[in-house]
Structure 1
Amino acid sequence: MLDFNVSGLIPKNMEKRGELVFSENLKEIEDIFNHRKIPENGLSNEKIRLFLRFLSMMDTDKDPKSIRIGEREARIVSSVHDELSYGFCHGVGRSGNLIDPQPKAPGASIMYSLTNKILESFLKTLGIDVYGISTPVSTGMSISLCLCAARKKYASNVVIYPYAAHKSPIKAVSFAGMKMRLVETVLDGDKVYVPVEEIESAVKKEIELGNNPCILSTLTFFPPRNSDDILEISKICEIYDIPHIVNGAYALQNNFYIEKLKKAFKYRIDAVVSSSDKNLLTPIGGGIIFSKNQDFLKEISHCYPGRASATPIVSTLVSLLSIGSKNYIELMKNQKSSKKLLDDLLYDLSKKTGNKLLDSESPIASCISVNSNPVEIAAKLYNLRVTGPRGVTKTDKFGNCYTGNYIYDYIVMNAAIGVKTEDVVNAVDKLEKIIL
């Protein structure tokens, strides 16, 4: 595509040397176009910027001879707009389909298609052999898109939701115009979970009532709420031939969740929704949806109304190119080490203070019981500039995901991907100062 004629401007030996350097600098970018997969080693910021500018320069609003008389012509009032969207001012998609090429935006359309190809290669690197799309909306709205697709393709009208106290998926069901049937949690020691047999019973009852149910399960959540048994739920969905959407908001950063997904994908999972910011360290605003069923993914993209901002898609692409597969595996290892450190520190603190490190299967978050108001403790941590911890009282039925009183008041702390070791140490140190 690039054809620069520098012949005769400098001596031939210098010309060849310059062309060699130029080719070497462009090689990584060419590899992205040619192989369409996540690079093993991340690209530099300069090369990512160059890559994005190459593509954005292909959109019609960059054509100096373009005659633009439509109502949607990527006219912008400030260069800051251009910086925020990285030049993809026309956005992505068309009014009828999120992933359709946009005639006014050849560069943005290539960028989006490449992002999805690179995303799929990233998932394959993690051992998840699926189709995937990057979405311009966060987890809750991405779940809504999946539910709308289930309603359209399978006439689903009731969502069976094993109860998890998270407002986003609950609102997603309402936004999709569907009814919800909650399946209550039970308490087993410190852990809160939803029995699979109760989920199956809810499916049977809805079918008996003449409804077409689907299941929205939860893979990732704060302890003491356990992950849903998505393997058994997938078997149930296969037996009763009903859709299964999995909320796996931060499922891509730890092999504990990845292995659960790989096993469940052998049965019925129509789509998994993950967050780009929680897994790929992007700004908030984008989602990831993946599935074995390419047709269902297309149906999901058809449910998005109108064109979309390219900015969340660009953010996902930038992270994939910047991190690279090799570094992401290292980040996953560091996350696992950070979680062990958090558990060890909280266990030591529990012994000092007569509290308990709660039994939890979560590979991301840990809970410690406290003897005073946990909400006030969390507020004090916030005032000490510690962000993230949650304080939950034993009577908080929403926070506990449990309809009865829980055993303990407790604090939840996370050791998610990208956390710094010193932040884990300092957070627990400040907690100790508060509760001692």
Structure 2
Amino acid sequence: MNDDNLKWAEEVIGSSSYIQQARQARSRSESLLKVLLTQRRLPESPWPDSMITMVLAEIAGMDSNNFDGNIGLGERESRIYSSLVSSRHYHFGHGIGRSGDIAEIQPKAAGSSLVMKLTNAMVLDAIRISGATKQAAAACQILPLATGMTLALVLRTVANSRPGAKYVLWPRIDQRSCLKSIVTAGLIPIVIENILDNDQVTTDLDAVAAVIDKYGPESIVAVMTTTSCFAPRVPDRIVDVAVLCKDRAIPHVVNNAYGLQSSKFMHALSEGCRIGRVDVFVQSTDKNFMVPVGGAIVAGPHKSLISDIGKMYPGRASMSPVMDLFITLLSMGSSGYKDLLAERKIMYNTLRHKLQVFAERHQTWLLDTPRNDISLALSLQPMDLDERKQSPSMLGSMLFSRLVSGTRVVAKGAKKTVCGIDFDGYGAHIDNYPVSYLNVAAAIGMREPEIDMFFERLEKVFKELKIGSYRVVSG
């Protein structure tokens, strides 16, 4: 209510004290909204759900479909048949962007456009809180696409500025969506095989340079590297590749899927921008901010390129991923987000320590992958499963049936064909990795009780399969 209506309400109720409380609550909500609109970054403290709901209702009232007496004569007028669907979306229905630019303002949807702009601003602030410099993260754009499709859109945009180029150099990462993004963009992937550095699988920089020399910089759309990955794969040598790309005048696109969680990864990206070339880095909304799957964020040092990527998106777009982020970031505040990042580092160290203890007790070992501070890998040798005609993958399926999700078992020597390309040792990111192993990750939002429960169930599975210290020794 505005001040006039509050005065009339006071007369109706006959009590000024109760109305004064309402006036103070309204004043606080208006003050918080003013700070958000003027500062355009994450609020310091989390907003309560009631405040977020109130602000969403006010902003939704700025969209034409919510105008009292509005008559819509177009083919897209945000008519929503189900009241449940309308409530689920807080009465926003126009989506974001226009046919020529996903970042463009919609005349009929000032409220939706405001939410989009504010969310982009808060996400940019969060990326910088994660460790990116202002130079590295000069701009960002949320897209209603998961990481793979977003990478395809990015590559297609970059390719349009390099006529005649058709190759994407891709240090091998055994995740199908990464490879498919190149093919979906209508480009040709050149797989750069990795090298083994003790336990770590890492970038073969000499091979990248040799392929550039072979095909010529003018024929290459981009080098696409990866930060966040499953151990024993470690992040690509982002800074070295960035310097190489700068020297050869080749764009550099980084798949930073869940890399916002690691200050180490973000420092590498920032350093790559400072002394080399990083054109765009792409990250998932769900993996980094704990929202439903469906969105990704493109960011980079060049505002014009980020804008071009937004313009490449055809038509309007769903607002759902933006709305999820808007609500979540206000619920976190910068203090909550910083706490989550700090807690994740603690959980990583806790998980690593307990995995080390478990490994020693079961006569195996934790793979040494210090450059990967999110994912860990436990060697499954010696297991003697092959001698008993059992696959190590049985361990993964048994954990899943016991409600342990997210772990991955990579069996030595697995083969797979993706996009017509044959891979040996698929899952290990390299041919002939010496052991089978179990992957676990310390991701944002993990809590210590989950870690303890995981080891209880892992212990039971090891016992049931008679592996590790439970092995049956023949003879």
Shared topology, TM-score over 0.5?
A: yes
**2:43 maps to amino acid:** P
**2:48 maps to amino acid:** S
**1:170 maps to amino acid:** L
Q: Which whole-Å CA distance do the structure 1 matches of 2:303 and 2:123 have between them?
A: 14
Q: Which whole-Å CA distance do the structure 1 matches of 2:9 and 2:398 have between them?
A: 67
Q: CA deviation at 1:333?
A: 1.5
* Residue in structure 1 matching 2:53, options 46, 49, 72: 49
What is residue 357 of structure 2 aligned with on the other side? 348
**2:161 maps to amino acid:** K
Query: Which segment is superposed worse, 124-133 or 143-152?
Result: 124-133
Q: Deviations over 1:333-373 (max 9, x none)?
A: 11111111111111111111111100112111111112133
Matched, 1:175 2:184: yes
Q: CA deviation at 1:64?
A: 2.4
Q: CA deviation at 1:12?
A: 8.9
Q: Which whole-Å CA distance do the structure 1 matches of 2:429 and 2:157 have between them?
A: 28
Corresponding residue SS for 2:399: helix
What is residue 399 of structure 1 aligned with on the other side? 427
Q: CA deviation at 1:212?
A: 3.3
Maintained 8 Å contact 2:170/2:190: yes
Distance change >3 Å, CA 150–CA 386, structure 1 → 2: same
Q: CA deviation at 1:308?
A: 0.4
Q: State which structure, 1 or 2, has the greater radius of gyration over its C-alpha atoms.
A: 2
Q: CA deviation at 1:88?
A: 1.7
| RMSD of aligned residue pairs (Cα, Å) | 1.7
Q: CA deviation at 1:16?
A: 4.9
1:33-432 equivalent positions in 2, closer than 5 A: 33-128=37-132, 129=134, 130=137, 131-155=139-163, 156-207=165-216, 211-266=219-274, 267-360=276-369, 361-370=371-380, 371=383, 372=385, 373-396=391-414, 397-403=425-431, 405-432=432-459
Maintained 8 Å contact 2:130/2:262: no
Query: Which segment is superposed worse, 131-140 or 4-13?
Result: 4-13
**1:91 maps to amino acid:** G
Q: Which whole-Å CA distance do the structure 2 matches of 1:47 and 1:99 have between them?
A: 26
Count of matched residue pairs: 434
In the alignment, structure 1 segments of 5+ residues that lack a partner are: none
Corresponding residue SS for 1:216: strand
Q: Which whole-Å CA distance do the structure 1 matches of 2:126 and 2:3 have between them?
A: 32
Q: Deviations over 1:107-148 (max 9, x none)?
A: 101110111111122223334212111111111111111111
Query: Which segment is superposed worse, 332-341 or 291-300?
Result: 332-341
Distance change >3 Å, CA 66–CA 192, structure 1 → 2: same
Normalised by the size of structure 2, how large is the TM-score? 0.88
Q: CA deviation at 1:26?
A: 3.0
Maintained 8 Å contact 1:84/1:311: no
Corresponding residue SS for 2:161: helix
**1:399 maps to amino acid:** G
Query: Which segment is superposed worse, 145-154 or 91-100?
Result: 145-154
What is residue 5 of structure 1 aligned with on the other side? 5
Distance change >3 Å, CA 73–CA 277, structure 1 → 2: same
**1:202 maps to amino acid:** V
Q: CA deviation at 1:65?
A: 2.0
Q: Which whole-Å CA distance do the structure 2 matches of 1:53 and 1:71 have between them?
A: 25
Q: Which whole-Å CA distance do the structure 1 matches of 2:440 and 2:6 have between them?
A: 59
Distance change >3 Å, CA 157–CA 83, structure 1 → 2: farther
Q: CA deviation at 1:154?
A: 3.1
Maintained 8 Å contact 2:106/2:113: yes
Maintained 8 Å contact 1:218/1:247: yes
**1:335 maps to amino acid:** R
Query: Which segment is superposed worse, 152-161 or 44-53?
Result: 152-161
Maintained 8 Å contact 1:374/1:391: yes
Q: Which whole-Å CA distance do the structure 1 matches of 2:24 and 2:74 have between them?
A: 44
Corresponding residue SS for 1:399: coil
Corresponding residue SS for 1:165: coil
Q: Which whole-Å CA distance do the structure 1 matches of 2:455 and 2:8 have between them?
A: 66
Q: Which whole-Å CA distance do the structure 1 matches of 2:8 and 2:210 have between them?
A: 80
Distance change >3 Å, CA 4–CA 30, structure 1 → 2: farther
Corresponding residue SS for 1:367: strand
Corresponding residue SS for 2:219: coil
**1:433 maps to amino acid:** K
Q: Which whole-Å CA distance do the structure 1 matches of 2:183 and 2:239 have between them?
A: 26
Q: CA deviation at 1:83?
A: 2.7
In the alignment, structure 2 segments of 5+ residues that lack a partner are: 386-390, 415-424, 463-469, 471-475
Distance change >3 Å, CA 2–CA 100, structure 1 → 2: farther
Distance change >3 Å, CA 406–CA 324, structure 1 → 2: same
Q: Which whole-Å CA distance do the structure 2 matches of 1:428 and 1:365 have between them?
A: 16
